[in-house]
Every structure is written in C-alpha cells, then in structure tokens.
Amino acid sequence: MKLPVYMDSNATTPVDPRVLEAMMPYFTEHFGNAASKTHSFGWKAEEAVETARRKIAALINAKPREIIFTGGATESNNLAIRGIAEMYRYKGNHIITAQTEHKSVLNTCERLKTEGFEVTVLPVDKYGLVDPDDVRSAITGETILVTIMTASNEIGTIAPVKEIGAVARERSVLFHTDAAQAAGKIPFDVEEMNIDLASITAHKMYGPKGTGALYVRHEMVDSHKENPRVKLKPIINGGGHEGGMCSGTLNVPGIVGFGTACEICQKEMPQESKRLIALRDRLYNAIAEKIDEVYLNGHPVKRLPNNLNLAFLYAEGQSILMDLKNIAFSSGSACNSAKPGPSYVLMALGIGEERAFNSVRFGLHRFNTEEEVDYVAEEVIKTVKKLRQMSPLYMLRSGGSQG
C-alpha cells in the first residue's frame, strides 16, 4: 500500500488514467483553437469539443446544445444565478436558496442583495435537507429563481431535487441546482428532476481541474408558454463563444477529458456506487466499533456513496488532521478552508459548535482499496484515543478509562 492515502475526493478526485490518455493528443498533436474555422487544426479541435459535449449531455439526459462550457462549477454557479437575475429582473427580484449551499452560490446571492435583489435563505433540518414545502411557502410573485444544491459537498446529503423542481415549475419559477458533487456519482436526470439549470465540473468525477459546464434548458416544457427556453445574460464579454454565454478560448484538452470522464461514469456508476458504499460503510463500522461517541453528520441513507462526515466528541477535528500525516482528508470544504471557525454547513444542522469543531470528512474514490480503508480506520482510532487521553473532559466523563 502506497502512502499517503488519499481520502479527500469531495475536494477533488484523481484524474482517471483513461481520461488523461484521451486528453494527451490535444496538448501536442491536435492543439488547434476550436474557434479557428479556416483550417484542419481548428476543425479537429471543434470536433473534439462537440463530441465531448454530446457525452456530457448524455450523462445528465440533456441535449448537446444545452451544455455551455465554463471554467468550473463556481463559474457555472455565478453564470446561472447572475445571468438569470440580470435577464429576468423585469419579472421580479427575488431569489431563494438554502443555508448549506456552496459559497459560490451564497456569496453571489449576497452580492446581488447589494444591487437591490431580495434573497430568502431557507433553513435545513438536522440532516441538511431542504423541505420542498418551505420552498413553496417562500415563493412570491417576485421570485425568479430557486437555487438548491443536489448533494452537499461537506455532509453528502442528497436533496429532494425532483420535488423542489416540481414546486418551482408549478409556480413558473426557474430552478437551478449545483450538481458538482452529484453528477457522475448518483443518477442525475435534468428532465426527470424538473431542472432548468445545473452546474457540473470535471474534477469531481475523475476529470481535470479548470473545466466545467452549465446545463441551460433549451426546450419549452410541455409546450407551455409560461415555461419557455431559459435565457441568460452573459457575465463575461468577449468573442461570443458558447452561444454568447461564456466567451473565451475553450480548454480543448480539459473538455475532451471532461467528456471521457462523463462517459466512464455513465458506464460504471451502478457498480462503482455499490463498491464505494461498501468501502464507506466498512470505514464507518470499523471506527464506530472501537470508538464511542462517534456521530454521523448528514443523512444516514440519502447521502453520496463516497462521503463520510464524522464527529468525534472530545477530539478536535483539526488535531486529528494534524496528527494523521499519512492520510489526506479534511475538516470541511476546501473552498472554505481559509476561514477559521466551525463549518457553517455543520452549524446549520443545529449540532452545536463542539460537535462541529470535532468533525472530519472522508471522501472515498474509485481507486481506494479495502487495505487503505482498514489502514485509515486503524490510524483514526489510535489518534482519537490518544487525543481523548489528553482531554480532561473526556477523562472526567469516563472516569479515566478509554472507551
């Protein structure tokens, strides 16, 4: 077994060798600009981009023309939210989101508030779930967008996206979901789930960093005039790439890798999900068997196959991380790691500061092995026991004995 062991795949995944192999010719041999229309180098690049677009669309049951390439999910989230806000401001100025959204959603909404938009931030329950009835109650005549993530990057909870989308659709409100963590890991169907816009990214599904996409519904829903195709106001101006929605030279190697990653996920997702669930449960059970007062953060069933977020009372999460140099995992979102304090996602669950501070997140990936899982469990158990021996509160509570 090679050290260190990587278990932080909700932050990013390793690039699948099959993805890298597909990308390599587009760095060296087929290096043309996909927007160059006058020679074979450009034609070859454009052909590769359109092939990848079809593969990405197939993964989420979209049409290729509904896929807009971006630099990643953060850019996709910004384009979706700001693009809708500016395009549909004549209809209203109200946006609905939730406490546990990614910062690229929450901060974009905060910025829009300074520009005269109203934002309702819905609470979540103890598992991190948004109640569709809360969405229904929050919609007003001024509401133009609901944005709720499909699956949490921190606690792995999977939202009732289909039900939320149905609520938005019955009220003729557009629905956007940040699906960066979900696409490629669990079934994700934009038609079945009543989705108008969806943000996805390559590096969460064994593709390269710096390449993402935004699904934008192109067709009218059931031919109803109140649900026409979705239109966006561009947030980046330039040469009119991607139908004018996202100008800039396309990252052809990255897009090729993205398409290949989606193709692999579509073929292997059912068996891969079962395998990851088995490894995740093996890790949890091994730890819980030897350590008392371990709590699962997030929904016990409605969660991503690869996510395990645990709270160890009397053992601070950062101390666990610092002690385990040969294991790569985290105490929360990589996008929020620079800010001290407990995770805002965990605090939204109502678990309290102590449990939030004592939490760590494991993100398994397709190349993890049972041997790695057993090693991680053993090392975590030793570290938690050691830290608890240094905790006066734990020693007082246990009467000096280690559970």
Residues 6+ apart with CB under 8 A from 374: 282, 286
Inter-residue contact 95 to 118 (CB < 8 Å) = yes
The CA radius of gyration of the chain, in Å to the nearest whole number, is 22
Read off the tokens for 6: 């990587």
Tokens 């398994």 sit on residue? 364
Q: For the chain, how far is it from start to end, CA to CA, in angstroms?
A: 29
The 3-class secondary structure across 3-25, one letter per residue, is CCEECECCCCCCCCHHHHHHHCH
Inter-residue contact 157 to 303 (CB < 8 Å) = yes
CA distance 199 to 180: 6
Residue positions annotated with a catalytic role: 335
> On the CB side of 296, how many CA atoms lie within 13 Å of its CA?
18
Strands in 212-216's sheet, in edge-to-edge order, are: 67-70, 212-216, 197-201, 174-178, 143-147, 94-98, 118-122
